[in-house]
Amino acid sequence: GENVEQHPSTLSVQEGDSAVIKCTYSDSASNYFPWYKQELGKRPQLIIDIRSNVGEKKDQRIAVTLNKTAKHFSLHITETQPEDSAVYFCAASSQGAQKLVFGQGTRLTINP
Amino acid sequence: NAGVTQTPKFQVLKTGQSMTLQCAQDMNHNSMYWYRQDPGMGLRLIYYSASEGTTDKGEVPNGYNVSRLNKREFSLRLESAAPSQTSVYFCASSLGASGTYEQYFGPGTRLTVT
């Protein structure tokens, strides 16, 4: 089955700097890659997703890139702000997005 | 719209007790899911229901059963709770149609088994 590895497990950056979180997946049939943000004590919420027919997708300060050959995808957050502090999860799916396999999560802290 | 709702919010069980976690969505979604979240392990899929009348196992189904009661409701049952089932449980739903994959999560149930 699919296996998703996420790095780093914790990341601390200065406000205004960029943050990058990386994930690798094992199943070459995976074709859907969402990123979820979870604030402390809250539910996970989708922030951006990408499908395997696209190499990059941007939404304001966040972007996701996908390298199908290497089987890895990354989340990029630019001009970080204190409200970006949260745990971020990547996920991958090959079955019409029904069975998401999540990475272990990255705790991002933005230092003022 | 309330979105995805879960009851209860908190629960403490003794080993061997049973309980049912309830989940409901009012977004007319076809697909529903149950996940557990443990520290350092992300979210792991327990069971899912692609559409009313169907259920399938996820990564960690052992010790759990589910019922898709109708299109709105999807319950998770622990028949004989064990300390290893101490976790936060999230229900989620998605439209399930081609091109609309976003999963919407409920607020979670924090379960402790002693």
Write the CA distances from B107 to A50, A92, B3, integer angstroms: 25, 22, 10
Instruction: Dump pLDDT digits (tens) for A13-59.
Output: 999 999 999 999 999 999 999 999 999 999 999 999 998 888 999 99
| Tokens representing residue A81 in the block | 């702000």
Characterize the bridge pairing of strands B56-57 and B64-68: unpaired
Q: What is the pLDDT of residue B73?
A: 97
Q: What is the pLDDT of residue A98?
A: 75
Instruction: Dump pLDDT digits (tens) for B5-36.
Output: 999 999 999 999 999 999 999 999 999 999 99
pLDDT beyond 70 at A6 = yes
pLDDT beyond 80 at A100 = yes
Q: What is the pLDDT of residue B40?
A: 78
Question: Average pLDDT, stretch B78-101?
Answer: 90
Q: What is the pLDDT of residue B41?
A: 80
Instruction: With beta carbons less than 8 A apart as the criterion, state whether A73 and A54 touch.
Output: no
What whole-number distance in Å separates Cα of residue A22 and Cα of residue A28?
17
Instruction: Dump pLDDT digits (tens) for B74-86.
Output: 999 999 999 999 9
Cross-chain residue pair B42–A32, CB shorter than 8 Å: no
What whole-number distance in Å separates Cα of residue A110 and Cα of residue A24?
24
Question: Average pLDDT, stretch A107-112?
Answer: 96
- Return mean pLDDT, chain B: 94
> Best interface-test mutation with B: which of A26, A48, A102, A107 has the largest number of B CBs within 10 A?
A102
> Best interface-test mutation with A: which of B29, B35, B37 has the largest number of A CBs within 10 A?
B37
pLDDT beyond 80 at A96 = no
pLDDT beyond 80 at A78 = yes
Q: What is the pLDDT of residue B98?
A: 66
pLDDT beyond 80 at B100 = no
Contacts A–B by Cβ distance under 8 A: 51
Closest CA to B110 of B4, B8, B31, B1: B8
Write the CA distances from B57 to A18, A56, A109, B34, B45, integer angstroms: 39, 32, 35, 10, 8
Instruction: With beta carbons less than 8 A apart as the criterion, state whether A4 and A23 touch.
Output: yes
Instruction: Tell me the three state secondary structure of residue B32.
Output: strand
